[in-house]
Amino acid sequence: MPFVNIYLHVGTTPEFRSAVADSIHQAMLDTIDIVPDDRFELVHEYQPENFHQDPAFFGIERSNERSVFIQLVINARPAEQKQNLYRRIVENLASAPGVRKEDVFIGVVEVARENWWAYARIVDDTGVDARAAQTS
Amino acid sequence: MPFVNIYLHVGTTPEFRSAVADSIHQAMLDTIDIVPDDRFELVHEYQPENFHQDPAFFGIERSNERSVFIQLVINARPAEQKQNLYRRIVENLASAPGVRKEDVFIGVVEVARENWWAYARIVDDTGVDARAAQTS
Amino acid sequence: MPFVNIYLHVGTTPEFRSAVADSIHQAMLDTIDIVPDDRFELVHEYQPENFHQDPAFFGIERSNERSVFIQLVINARPAEQKQNLYRRIVENLASAPGVRKEDVFIGVVEVARENWWAYARIVDDTGVDARAAQTS
């Protein structure tokens, strides 16, 4: 049950923002073994004055008004899986809606499996069903 | 010192949103041993296009426009206490302001005790007083 | 690669909000060994009805409309370094833009070093360069 927060500047189209959310969700489906309906994503929009980053990071220019910050809260996973996830997110965002890789910033927060609650997951007395045990 | 973030759609009343915040705070008082004035809660409102979830999760329909996502950042606690907390939050929200249990999503992020700062907690040279040692 | 979220009431000037962000960034430079361009900060503004705290915490009055909540997501660090960071943030905010220490609330979320991605950090096949190895 990942919880995804997407932060970008005001001024994009709803289609652009939906494509960002879709691309991130698809990347999680492809690399960290979640199920399609396990989707909880929010998009937050900022005035330029409230969105702070350096014009260059590690010598690479970042285009401020098109930057996308992403925070993923997920169950703990091996480092390799997280690397695959990052790579896929960046690839997907480059394809649609077309975000430069230089403009992506991703941070992951890992939590324990029991740190989530959604009604649909409680299907027996233990609060966890077989499907929940297999996925995130 | 929990930090609570509440995410919901635009279009609710201020009374509705305050009742959501009150219900969550009361649930924490009842189940995870915080003190009444230890309250730091924010409510975030979203346009439908920025609030993404599947219309059904684990086969249960979620009513998009009335859904409430909740993120709780708290000191680490036993799994059982977290289960009690979830149950109480959902019960309280059902009572007031009247949120369907199917529309609640909760995620918890756990941190170390020293990961908080508020002026009032510093009452001696160690930065922690007796009350802080007993509670969250 | 800290990720900083700053939460305050609507009604401040852009200069005030930028000074808050600058002061927090400078505090991190001074106490937790990040580099100047490692800056990813967002400022979030709230209507009073969406910003909930007790009028007093541990017996100290908090001025609701001038309060600043801060969430820092950083790589794990020793408790002492975090204490230094809190102290410096509060000092800096008192200097500019002039936030009372009683009105600051800080929460830290710690993550593993591999929980970040930004394009500029990938400079060889391992995904980490010498500079990244030295800093956060």
pLDDT, one tens digit per residue, over C117-130 is 998 664 444 445 54
Helix (DSSP H) and strand (DSSP E) numbers for chain A: 3, 8
Question: Which chains have at least 3 CB atom pairs separated by less than 8 Å from chain A?
Answer: B, C
- In chain B, what percentage of residues exceed pLDDT 90? 76
In chain A, the percentage of residues whose pLDDT exceeds 70 is 88
Rounded to an integer, the average pLDDT of B24-37 is 95
> Cβ of B117 and C86 within 8 Å?
yes
| Average pLDDT taken over every residue of chain A | 89
What is the distance between the alpha carbons of residues B119 and C102, in angstroms, rounded to a whole number?
A: 5
Q: Residues A64-87: what's their mean pLDDT?
A: 94
Alpha helices in B1-111 (DSSP H): 14-31, 79-95
- State the smallest CA–CA distance between residue C97 and chain A in angstroms: 15
> What pLDDT, on a 0 to 100 scale, did the predictor assign at position C127?
44
Q: How many angstroms away from the CA of C125 is the closest CA of chain B?
A: 32
Q: Which two tokens stand for residue A103?
A: 């403009």
Residues C74, C111: contact at Cβ < 8 Å? yes
pTM of the model: 0.92
Flag if C73 and A106 touch (Cβ within 8 Å): no
Predicted pLDDT of residue C52: 96
- The percentage of chain B sitting over the pLDDT mark of 70, rounded to a whole number, equals 88
Q: Which residues of C touch B117 (CB under 8 A)?
A: 86, 89-90, 104-107
Has residue C61 got a pLDDT over 70?
A: yes
Q: Provide the shortest C-alpha distance from residue B119 to chain A (in Å).
A: 26
Amino acid at A136: S
Please give the angle made by the CA atoms of B57, B61 and B63, to the nearest 5 degrees: 110
Nearest CA in chain A to B106: A117
Shortest distance between the Cα of B49 and any Cα of chain C, in A, equals 19
Which is nearest to B71 in space by CA: B2, B13, B14?
B2
- Per-residue model confidence as pLDDT tens digits over A22-56: 999 999 999 999 989 999 999 999 999 999 999 98
Q: Cite the active site residues of A.
A: 2
Whole-number pLDDT of residue B131: 53
Residue B26, C-beta contacts closer than 8 angstroms, at least 6 positions apart: B88, B92
Hey, are the CB atoms on C121 and A58 less than 8 Å from each other? yes
- Asked whether residue B83 carries a pLDDT value surpassing 50, the answer given is yes
Q: Write down the pLDDT at residue C103.
A: 96
Which of C31, C36, C26, C30 lies closest to C1, judged by CA? Answer: C36
pLDDT in tens, B46-79: 999 999 999 988 888 888 789 999 999 999 999 9
The answer, yes or no, to whether residue A121 has pLDDT greater than 50, is yes
Q: Inform me whether the C-beta atom of residue A106 falls under 8 Å from chain C C-beta atoms.
A: yes
Using CA coordinates, name the residue in chain A closest to C119: A102
Average pLDDT over residues C103-122: 89
The pLDDT of residue B123? 42
Residues C19 and A63: their CA atoms lie apart, in Å, by: 22
pLDDT beyond 70 at B122: no
* pLDDT (0 to 100) of residue B126: 47
Q: What is the pLDDT of residue A124?
A: 43
Is the Cβ–Cβ distance between C119 and A90 less than 8 Å? yes
Res. C62: pLDDT tops 90: no
The verdict on C133 touching B (C-beta cutoff 8 Å) is no
- Closest residue on chain C to B132 (Cα): C58
State yes or no: pLDDT of A123 exceeds 50: no
- Tens digits of residue pLDDT in C31-60: 999 989 999 999 999 999 999 999 988 788
Write out chain B residues lying below 8 Å of A21, CB-based: 52
- When pLDDT is cut at 50, 70 and 90, the band that residue B1 belongs to is confident
Residue B64: per-residue pLDDT: 79
Whether the Cβ atoms of residue B114 and residue B136 lie closer than 8 Å to each other = no
* Beta carbons of C117 and A46 less than 8 Å apart: no
Question: C79-95 and C14-31 helices cross at what angle (nearest 10)?
Answer: 150
Q: Note the pLDDT of residue A45.
A: 98
Predicted complex ipTM: 0.90
- Does A104 lie at the interface with C, CB-CB under 8 angstroms? yes
